[in-house]
Structure 1
């Protein structure tokens, strides 16, 4: 049965307008994005099939381009639309996040960094540069690849902090493996950067390890 033949209260779009987006299931939200189904499947049926095939909504949204466009019912146009939606979400979150003291809402900081880093297939080391009121000046990925003590150059972080006229910063890097457990290399990098930035009177407030399963704060662990 086509979605247009369903009772109005059960149609995803009408349900969203009446009750809000939070009331919809993952399949219903995805169906609104897809707009149409395929032969023999409504948009909701197709969405349920996709979620089953990929394992979760997060896995579908972070799928690489090759797999996504090869999936029946998706394709290049849908991939482009999805990337635009995700980027708008990141920018929206960034605009709201930049207006506040990051220390006033630690979870918002974690969410912001996870939005930018959790789904990366490669290790990325980034800095969140802050002003003297702990408001965000800029978020900047600094290094890519395997992150270890030899791959992160304190002088480059110092140069970037001075360029942004930062008073403080938060370090962050992701673990594509999915485990947000700090390694000895993570602790060593943190101490080197704290010492280097202290020489130019710039504070390091935290170092966050970002993974799909969660985020770990070295400051909260007492590892700073």
Structure 2
């Protein structure tokens, strides 16, 4: 347990005296977990969780089923972790809504990596923007192996109309870790671009997301 540590090494006291920035990832996680396992201190347990899921980014993407498979994570701890993870995602989304998307490409990349980088399957996401390029909504519209025929322009168009979007940004992940956009990615983007042009909705970009970062099709001249 945390109280078994020396006073100056306890994450809570360290946080209160020096601020949260002074704590390592495992220490912050240990504050949420509170207790470890028999023979395994809470800091060791927290570090093991981070290693199991590939760091904070991977842990943030953990599903309820994945957390349930971890020995020592009961329903109460799982619920608390999932609530904190969701709060982190919502906070980042709110930050994007507070400023023009095009003036903050790093914030967009952070959000996309948080949402998509650690998924084990491909996910196609659309950011719907207003006329000032502020985020209205982020929606995951399609899952599975993405091909030109598996993403439906009609559904994307309907969601754009629903949100009253003036423009959109597409994103999808490559679980393989290969960040290079494929010819199929470019073809899909052009197909969606043509459909949305009929509604006067601009396609600003399409990002390919991996753990290593985000690759912009617009920057590659593929739009």
**TM-score of the aligned structures, taking structure 2 as reference length:** 0.90
Give ranges in structure 2 of 5+ residues lacking alignment. none
The separation in 2 between residues aligned to 1:103 and 1:46, in whole angstroms, is 40
Residue number in structure 2 paired with 1:191: 190
Aligned with 2:139: secondary structure?
strand
The separation in 1 between residues aligned to 2:194 and 2:19, in whole angstroms, is 49
Q: How does 1:27-176 map to 2 (within 5 A)?
A: 27-176=26-175
Change (3 A) 1:22 1:191: same
The separation in 2 between residues aligned to 1:21 and 1:172, in whole angstroms, is 32
Quote the offset at 1:26 in angstroms.
2.1
Change (3 A) 1:82 1:167: same
Moved more, 65-74 or 105-114: 65-74
The separation in 2 between residues aligned to 1:158 and 1:190, in whole angstroms, is 13
The separation in 2 between residues aligned to 1:139 and 1:130, in whole angstroms, is 9
Calculate the aligned-residue CA RMSD, in Å: 2.0
Quote the offset at 1:135 in angstroms.
0.7
Moved more, 203-212 or 173-182: 173-182
Give ranges in structure 1 of 5+ residues lacking alignment. none
The separation in 1 between residues aligned to 2:52 and 2:160, in whole angstroms, is 44
Quote the offset at 1:124 in angstroms.
1.4
Moved more, 146-155 or 59-68: 59-68
The separation in 2 between residues aligned to 1:112 and 1:43, in whole angstroms, is 29
Quote the offset at 1:53 in angstroms.
4.8
Change (3 A) 1:54 1:106: closer
Aligned with 2:146: secondary structure?
coil
The separation in 2 between residues aligned to 1:217 and 1:96, in whole angstroms, is 21
Moved more, 37-46 or 208-217: 37-46
Aligned with 1:176: secondary structure?
coil
